Amino acid sequence: MKNIIIFGAPGSGKGTYSDEIVAKYGMGHISTGDVLRGEIKNGTELGKIAKGYIDNGQLIPDELMIDILAKTYDAQTKGQGMIFDGFPRTIAQAEALKKMLADRKDDMGMMIELVVDEETLMARLLNRAIEQGRADDNEETIKKRFDVYRNQTAPLAEWFEKEGLRHTFNWKGSKEQMLAEIFEAIDAANK
């Protein structure tokens, strides 16, 4: 099974579609946020270093994030395929991930880009704030996250295009329709 990088703006459904792909194909799933919280909670050496950055309000350096992802990746069953959810977010991270996988005689596989208009994203995130009580999902913060995504993360889509890995799926109002298109692309890539 090929690895998959799931890519999209905040609220585009990366976690939701990752869960559906995992359920259908039995792949591993690395959510960078979950992995970081787990390393910190378990008090691992990498977790302690990461916590130091987080506690000081700093971003975790790419090298440390790659080390944490490599540890998680190496613990998975070889050939099972892995979904990378929330990483990479920059070209430097993508290149580091590509190298980490190449060192293991593997590759990125494919990138699934979820494209949803900002009005729909805003409504989803505000609804999530109500349903899940997430303080980070308020209109002002969401707008800042969209700006960061547009300026720092969205340009990475072109990098994936040049690598020949980009598969784009536009929201048409139906999760089922989008899932069917995503599954079709995954099946085609794994023939």
The yes-or-no answer on residue 89 being catalytic is yes
The yes-or-no answer on residue 99 being catalytic is no
Please tell me whether residue 167 adopts helix, strand or coil conformation: strand
The yes-or-no answer on residue 124 being catalytic is no
* Torsion sign over Cα 9, 11, 15, 16: negative
Among candidate residues 2, 37, 51, 128, the one labeled active-site is: 128
The yes-or-no answer on residue 175 being catalytic is no
* Of 14, 3, 60, 10, residue with least CA distance to 169: 14
* Of 119, 126, 62, residue with least CA distance to 90: 62
| Beta-strand pair 28-31/82-85 | parallel
Among candidate residues 134, 143, 150, 172, the one labeled active-site is: 134
The yes-or-no answer on residue 134 being catalytic is yes
Q: Which residues are catalytic?
A: 14, 89, 128, 134, 145
